[in-house]
Amino acid sequence: MQKPFPSTILYGADYNPEQWPESVWQEDMRLMKVARVNIVTINVFSWALLELAPDEYTFGQLDRIMEMLAEHGIAADLATATATPPTWMSRMYPDMWPVTRDGKRLSYGSRQHYCPNSHDYRRKAGALVRRLAERYREHPALAMWHVNNEYGDHVKACYCDGCAVAFRRWLMARYTWLPELNDAWSTSFWSQRYFDWEDVMPPRLTPAGNNPGQMLDYQRFMSDSLLECYRLEANVLREVTPAIPITTNFIVAFKPVDYFSWARHIDVISFDLYPRNTTPPWENAFRHDLMRSLKNGQPHLVMEQTPGQLNWMEQNPHKRPGRIRLQSLQAVAHGADGVLYFQWRQSQGGAEKFHSAIVPHEGSERGRIFRQAAQPGAELERIAPDVVGSRIRAEVAIVMDWHNWWAVEYLPGPSDRLRYLEQVKRWYAALHGLNVAIDIVAPEHDLSQYRVVIAPLLYMLKAGVAQNLERYVTAGGTLLTTFFSGIVDEHDRVTLGGYPGELRKLLGIYVEEFDPWTEGMSNEVIIADEPLRGKYACDLWGEVVHLEGARALGVFARDYYAHGPALTVNRSGEGRAYYVATQVSDELASKLARMLCQQAGVELLMEVAEGVEVTRRARSDGRKVYFILNHNDSPAPVTLPQGRFTSLLDGLDFSEQLVIAGRDALILLEK
């Protein structure tokens, strides 16, 4: 297969020279050198420039772009250009037009206007990719394939008649015969039974709530449909250029697409990182940790981030000075081996002309934005030799499951305030504050490498998941799960016999009632024993819990289940299983996370002030690289672990105590 990739820290941007006269290209090359760019993503939106009419291809301009890059030693992340079909193609093939759930056909003239199940779209996309692969297979600039762009971003699902046919085919493969589908979807309810595959429809607009099983399978089907589009392209590329790694840019924790199921088909995980100015640093960290975990710690890439202001938020203030540098270094601190921007040169027209770029409308390298984009370019070049090849090793994991996400957020009750990702992120934030390395894993993932696993709101237990968790705990692991877990099977059918279903024994509890609170309702958790002793606010959800072997660490303070368990622990085999029956305050979540890590012997990297983030990458030679990022505006003292360290950014030596400036970063290699 392909050689290890990348061999240095990648630094670059989306580059759209087709928007500019060729006279500008040479200036681009000069400026890229100034900014230390070593890779650019090209050809993302070029289908209309490559195929002018059915099967009438023209590659002259792309040839010149590839030549120029090769000449200047800049690698090409070559996009397959399939993300947006040309206007003539949309008009020629009406089956390409996506249809919304309420029956509206989406027109072209924007982007991503294709139905992922359109035969014509797939045929034409495949043909284009083959041409590209064959033409540039030996090109020296070709470093990576960039398939399509942000799958599913705008067309999260299509409900056209072609999708109805494809959905039936997908269901036949999944259920073999119709009674099984009727059973999975509980169609004895509301007279919904199917007698013929032809009767099955996408979950279009209906008078009342749609069948939850049908909704869930449709989300699975649409994620798989997009994956089929990806694989169709990837298969061509692997056939023609087996040595070239393949990526497609993800949209982070993006609900419509189950990235866990995609990851094994992708060589290099890359994603687009677009925080708001108000996004807390731990949330970016979460995004990196998720992306890195998709391929078990293999380095990922930031495929897009903005060098200045965005254009798609309600208001788009500029990034304040220093932020972009810190954001870039944080990527590497969390295991990324590359950071690219969207985009190189700011567009003069079109729907993104007010999205900032490294080269602004003004056109020179003199401004703040260019300079602050160029700085990490130089820094990453400097640290690359000491960092590339090193890996993050996590002892703590958070379970995340797209199927659970889909199910929990299309529930007929009990609460529209349940946001799965928010629950996952709450516990991530609690752990992140401890400066431990964290993986984000699927519930069926082998958990044996972790000391602590937190699986928030695990409403749906797919087949085998309960056993996986049990195996993990009995072997000595520490598990924490939360309210409304273990409720349903993978078809969103309730596990009968008492909540939390298959987890009842492992957790040693029986939940008689769950009580989703309205906006004004709340309660408190009272804990008698150290280290958690105290009274803590909780909200969102309460439960009537009975102990069946577990011990109550905390109880509810009020309401008809006052004195009932709110926080329990159950010993099982060599391990412990915790259950939190409500949404606890950040304070209690943090304390709990710390207690679990300490009990389980998880290494906390450093004790630092709030707002200072510490990560560690381990090299194959055993030496460690510490990343210390001060997200505060003011300086902070740092106590280093024992030993002596070299600062990779400036070559200075450090040990014991130091002070890190506000909005600054230190990258320290163990001596």
CB of 438 to its own copies, least distance (A): 30
Q: Give least dist CB 44 to its own copies, A.
A: 9
**Residue 170 lies near its own copies (rule: CB under 8 A):** no
C-alpha closest to that of 343 among 357, 360, 364: 357
Site string for its own copies, 529-558 (x = CB under 8 A): ---------------x--------------
Show the tokens assigned to 537.
């606010």
- The residues that bridge with 636 in the sheet, in sequence order, are 660
The residue (of 490 and 613) whose beta carbon lies closer to its own copies is 490
Q: Does the footprint of its own copies cover residue 610 (CB under 8 A)?
A: no
**Using rule CB under 8 A, residue 175 touches its own copies:** no
The CA distance from 295 to 276, in Å, is 27
Is residue 634 near its own copies by the rule CB under 8 A? Answer: no
Q: Is 528 in the site for its own copies (CB under 8 A)?
A: no
Q: Which of 321, 531, 601, 662 binds its own copies (CB under 8 A)?
A: 321
Is residue 203 near its own copies by the rule CB under 8 A? yes
Active site residues: 150, 304
Cβ closest to its own copies, residue 94 vs residue 476:
94
# of chain residues touching its own copies (CB under 8 A): 120
Restricted to residues 38-57, the positions that interact with its own copies (CB under 8 A) are 45-49, 52-53
Residues 90-149 that bind its own copies (CB under 8 A): 91, 98, 102-113
| Total residue length of the chain | 671
The residue behind tokens 């984009």 is: 373
Nearest distance, CB of residue 314 and its own copies, angstroms: 5
* 150-170 burial: b if 16+ Cβ within 10 Å, else e: bbbbebbbbbbebbbebbbeb
- The closest of 246, 169, 251, 236 to 202, measured between CA atoms, is 169
Residue 470 or 490: the one with the smaller Cβ distance to its own copies is: 490
- Helix, strand, or coil (residue 230): helix
Q: What is the CA radius of gyration of the chain?
A: 26
Instruction: Give one DSSP letter per residue of 139-184, joined into a string.
Output: -TTEEEEE-SSSTTSS-S---SHHHHHHHHHHHHHHHSSHHHHHHH
**Burial profile 105-130: b = 16 or more Cβ within 10 angstroms, e = fewer:** ebebeebbbbbbbbebbbebbbebbe
87 binds its own copies (CB under 8 A): yes
Range 18-37, binding its own copies (CB under 8 A): 18-19
Q: How far is CA 52 from CA 49, 89, 634, in A?
A: 6, 9, 56
The answer to whether residue 312 forms part of the interface with its own copies (CB under 8 A) is yes
Task: Please tell me whether residue 363 binds its own copies under the rule CB under 8 A.
Answer: yes
The binder of its own copies chosen from 25, 29, 72, 88 (CB under 8 A): 88
Residues of this chain, 389-408, that bind its own copies according to CB under 8 A: none
Single out the segment in contact with its own copies by CB under 8 A; choices: 231-239, 325-333, 354-362, 444-452: 354-362
323 touches its own copies (CB under 8 A)? no
Q: Among 138-146, 226-234, 253-261, 309-317, which window interacts with its own copies (CB under 8 A)?
A: 309-317
Place of tokens 């589009």: 229
DSSP assigned state of 75:
E
Which of 29, 34, 172, 201 is the binder for its own copies (CB under 8 A)? 201
* DSSP-assigned letter for residue 187: T
Site for its own copies in 462-521 (CB under 8 A): 491-499, 510, 512-513, 515-519, 521
**x/- string (CB under 8 A) for its own copies, residues 331-350?**
---------------xxxxx
Cβ atoms of 365 and 371 within 8 Å: the answer is yes
Of 295 and 417, CB closest to its own copies: 417
Closer residue to its own copies, CB minimum distance, 283 or 381: 283
List binders of its own copies among 367-386 (CB under 8 A).
367-369
Name the pairing type of β-strands 583-584 and 534-539.
antiparallel
- Token duo for residue 405: 């996400």
> Whose CA is closest to 85, among 114, 56, 42?
114
Q: How far is the CB of 668 from its own copies (least distance, A)?
A: 29
